[in-house]
Amino acid sequence: LNLDTKEGYRIGKIAVEMMHRFNVVAECAPLVYLSVYAYVAILVEPFQSCVDMMQKGYEQAMFNGDTYMAACNIAQKIPKSLICGIRLSTLDNEIRNQLKRDNGYSQKALLPYWLIYQDTISLLADGQDVTSPTIEADLLDRQSNSVPFDYLDCLSYLRLMSSYWLGQYERAVYYAERKLGDERSKFRIVTSEFYNGLALIGMFRRKRTSALMKRIKTSITELNGAAEHSQWNFQNKEYLLMAELSSISNQSNVAILEWYDKAIDRAKRSKFIHEEGLACELAGCHCSSVGERSIALTYFSEAKKCYSEWGSRMKVKFIENQIRRINATFD
């Protein structure tokens, strides 16, 4: 991973430089930006800047009249935007607009992506499915020729993400263990380890086994390697996994909270509002479990602010219930 990422990034940046040097941006930008920023640079440069470049690829393709390449850039931009923590309502509006455009330009091949993206956003915002149950059935039929080549891998990835946020840890791990893509999908594979590790820790809290602990440490190792390429993108995730590992390992409360605070601070600096909220939530859950109710309320209050800004009414409601539960113990 280390050698491939470094070499791939170097070659990708050369392609971008040559495109500008030979003044072929108009012709080449949609494909070059898609290839470089959706698959390689995303592991090194800030997620947000890569999303911006995919937007530029989309705009150039639309200007060129190449609606298919425009749709491909947006199709890659949406899941990366989810990882960035861009407001959910903003993404939902973008998908609705894209569905209208696709009806006009007959880009039916990408319809399955728009539907599963819309479904994932609905789950994260309100905890509700909006797509047909047949999408779930499609996941089991990997020989289907009716969907794009990596749609089912993308579906597994997004189901992993939404399952974790819904607190369905076993389901999240089930999706994490499926094939999530090939060498072009390292971003998907690496970021899935974050949710997989958190879900495994959630399972470990219910049943402590050495096998689960081994798998948790594997996820942490993956995030550690990713953070070497980009602290901006991955260090907060590594810190949060370390905080959760410290919590289940019964380390000193001071040491545990240091890890949570580092995860919160790093997520805030990287502008990942949803993961800042998650770190606050998990810190609050830890404090509540060890009887530190006042500190837990402080963390939960910050989590609520973050989730509200992200646009997840589901998570705001969950945090409000946690706050009410703790307040009831003071009465």
The tens digit of pLDDT for each residue in 34-43 reads 999 999 999 9
> Residue 96 and residue 253: Cα distance in Å, rounded?
46
Summarize pLDDT for 142-167 with one digit per residue, the tens.
444 555 557 888 888 999 999 999 99
DSSP string, 17-70: HHHHHTT-HHHHHHHHHHHHHHHTGGGTS-HHHHHHHHHHHHHHHHHHT-HHHH
CB atoms under 10 Å from CB of 34, counted, come to 21
Q: Is the dihedral of CA 272, 275, 281, 287 positive or negative?
A: negative
What is the mean pLDDT of the segment spanning 223-232? 95
Per-residue pLDDT, 289: 95
pLDDT band for position 134 (cuts 50, 70, 90): very low
pTM: 0.91
| Residue found by looking up tokens 């915002």 in the block | 125
Higher pLDDT, 135 or 316: 316
Structural tokens at position 152: 């089912």
What is the mean pLDDT of the segment spanning 53-60? 95
39, 53 Cβ separation under 8 angstroms? no
Per-residue pLDDT, 12: 93
Per-residue pLDDT, 55: 95
Query: Nearest-5° angle of CA 196, CA 322, CA 89?
Result: 65
> Residue 184 and residue 39: Cα distance in Å, rounded?
6
> Residue 231 and residue 235: Cα distance in Å, rounded?
5
pLDDT band for position 105 (cuts 50, 70, 90): low
> Residue 295 and residue 238: Cα distance in Å, rounded?
23
Percent of the chain with pLDDT over 90: 73
83, 103 Cβ separation under 8 angstroms? no
Q: Residue 224 above 90 pLDDT?
A: yes
Mean pLDDT of the chain: 89
What is the mean pLDDT of the segment spanning 177-200? 83
- How far separated are the first and last CA of the chain, in Å rounded? 54
CB atoms under 10 Å from CB of 117, counted, come to 25
Flag the least confident range among 171-180, 196-205, 243-252.
171-180
Would you say how long the chain is, in residues?
Answer: 331
